[in-house]
Chains A and B, each alone.
Chain A
Amino acid sequence: MSKAAELLQEKFPEEVVEVTEFRGETTITVKPGRIVDICKTLRDTPETSFKYLSMVAGLDYLPQSPRFGVVYNLYSHRNHNRVTLKTLLADDNSPAIDSVVPVWSTANWHEREAYDMMGIRFKGHPDLRRILMPADWVGHPQRKDYPLRGK
């Protein structure tokens, strides 16, 4: 098991839902409630030192519930390894999670994109506007119930 998973299981035992390994990649599924603390811990603990956020992606598992998820891919320049954090959001109608912009500034645009495309609200985001779609666009194009073309 990777260092990151061990660390999280030690520090946030009730937050870690599942740790999976696939093709040499570690994915840690955590509860959304304390995501900022978890990210801060992963960033600041010297053994893990995930100081770099590669990407934030929104996910939509439509028929299932909970429907929405957010994925964080972290990279450590010290150990040259990656870890994927995954959370599933409880509320299907107005999904929301705490913003990780205080942890990594780069999350700003990633989260704006996830908000624009998936309609996931990031609480505490400094500037949560649409980024790719026009400001007056209705709907969130990358949701699974949004048609590919036309209406």
Chain B
Amino acid sequence: MNSRETLQRTETMLLNLGPSHPSTHGVLRVLLELDGELILRADPDIGYLHRGIEKMCEYRTYHRCMPLMNRLDYLAGEVNLFGFCLAMEKLLGIEVPKRAQYVRVMLAELTRIASHLFWLGTHGHDLGAMTPLFYAFREREKIMDLCEMVSGARMFPLYFRIGGLAADLPEGFIQAAWDFVKTFPEKHKDYHALLTKNQIWIERTKGVGVMSPEEVLDWGWSGPMARGSGVNWDLRRDNPYSSYEEFDFVVPLGKNGDTYDRYLVRMEEMLQANRIVRQALEKLADTEPGDIKAKDPRVSLPKKDAVYNDIAGLINHFKIIQEGIVPPKGEVYQCIEAPKGEMGFYIVSDGTPQPFRLKIRGPSFINLSAMDKLARGRLLADAIALIGTMDIVLADVDR
């Protein structure tokens, strides 16, 4: 190599973005190959939060799997549980009372708002706007309070049960939920005021991470990520579960499939979720309090009266507690519209109280897999915007 060639030789730089970095939303590590600030290759390296939940579930009864489900997408704990319970109910072939269905819908939608609020705050912060985070947390805090009212826990509420709910709504919950529902649309205007028309925000997000509808299907994107590209698909509407068909809501769609459109879609989804909560509260008024568990002896504990005075009741109680819930042999796939996309549970049962195989389809995992495709040829700052718009939760990616 002569001296001139030595002088002209250029080298790319490998940058280790993460696993501890301010904007990797957990423990994501992205190996970036950079030419200056231009990204030549982005290789997400995941697994830092892999806890082997799928494996652990194979050694637990179905009931004891449930606390693990909360730890998937921990920003929407209730929603994961929702999906798992629905899958179990499908496997068992049981119908949940209407009241329980409405309560589930209500809490799932509240959690959707909370999850989107968290996304709004962190996404804004990733792009340098630090104030939306605090405004978003103001409302999220109220939703956390509601979760705490029903279950005693804020991040990991264990309120749903296979076949219904753990208990009926506590006193004062309906009022508190109404307070939230009525005030939220006003507060929602604050978020729009902070970012939506800001020229810098528009410049940073428009045209970044563009996906065409065909690419969205090819890459398996779901939820707001798919709808941002104009894919008209919402599991709540197209494959309704838990009485979603009774609710009236609009599925917002984007046009360009870029970060800005996904931002608008999620913003509108919050308002629509708020509408669903409002309808659920109205519908709840017509249901009978206390009717929250399916009348199926395989999943519901008998009344205390029957346990103490009746041998059949005692045996039933004993079997559920000691042995657990025993579904029939078979396999089901049930998915729900989680805040981040399609959250699916594939349960293979061999007729024992433990799942033979439990596969969790986490939306964050799939959304993140398109990172390399989107980041190539963009600038370093865009990679941060992409991580933000994907709305990943590493606990959901790594499971």
A77 & B46 in contact (Cβ 8 Å cutoff): no
Does B239 sit within 8 A of A, measured CB to CB? yes
- 22 A–B contacts from the bound complex (CB under 8 Å): A22-B332, A53-B220, A55-B333, A55-B359, A59-B357, A71-B346, A77-B217, A104-B220, A105-B220, A105-B373, A106-B369, A109-B368, A110-B366, A113-B365, A131-B47, A132-B47, A132-B398, A132-B399, A133-B50, A141-B52, A146-B55, A148-B59
B218 & A23 in contact (Cβ 8 Å cutoff): no
Does B269 sit within 8 A of A, measured CB to CB? no
Closest 5 CB pairs of A and B: A106-B220, A132-B47, A57-B359, A109-B369, A55-B361
Contact among A27, A55, A108, A146 for B344, CB-based, below 8 A? A55
Chain B residues lying within 8 Å of A82, measured Cβ to Cβ, are 333
Chain A residues lying within 8 Å of B399, measured Cβ to Cβ, are 132
Binding site secondary structure of chain B: mixed
B52 & A73 in contact (Cβ 8 Å cutoff): no
B331 & A73 in contact (Cβ 8 Å cutoff): no
Chain B residues lying within 8 Å of A84, measured Cβ to Cβ, are 331, 333
Q: Considering the chains assembled together, what is the distance between the CA atoms of A73 and B334 in angstroms?
A: 11
Chain B residues lying within 8 Å of A59, measured Cβ to Cβ, are 348, 357
Total number of A-B contacts with CB less than 8 angstroms? Answer: 88
The number of residues on chain A lying at the interface, defined by a beta carbon within 8 Å of a beta carbon of chain B, is 35
Q: Considering the chains assembled together, what is the distance between the CA atoms of A27 and B50 in angstroms?
A: 30
B interface list, Cβ under 8 A from A = 46-47, 50, 52, 54-56, 59, 90-91, 93, 217-221, 231, 233, 238-239, 330-333, 335, 342, 344, 346, 348, 357, 359, 361, 365-366, 368-370, 373, 398-399
B47 & A134 in contact (Cβ 8 Å cutoff): yes
Binding site secondary structure of chain A: mixed
Q: Considering the chains assembled together, what is the distance between the CA atoms of A141 and B59 in angstroms?
A: 13
Distance in Å: Cβ of B241 to nearest Cβ of chain A: 12
Chain B residues lying within 8 Å of A108, measured Cβ to Cβ, are 369
Contact among A23, A132, A134 for B93, CB-based, below 8 A? A23
A interface list, Cβ under 8 A from B = 22-23, 25, 27, 51-55, 57, 59-60, 71, 73, 77, 80, 82, 84, 104-106, 108-110, 113, 117, 130-134, 141-142, 146, 148
Q: Considering the chains assembled together, what is the distance between the CA atoms of A106 and B342 in angstroms?
A: 14
Besides A132-B47, A142-B52, 6 other A-B contacts (C-beta < 8 A): A22-B331, A51-B218, A77-B233, A130-B47, A141-B55, A142-B55
Q: Considering the chains assembled together, what is the distance between the CA atoms of A51 and B221 in angstroms?
A: 12
Known contacts A23-B93, A59-B357, A134-B47; decide if A148 and B56 are in contact (CB<8 Å). Answer: yes
B238 & A80 in contact (Cβ 8 Å cutoff): yes
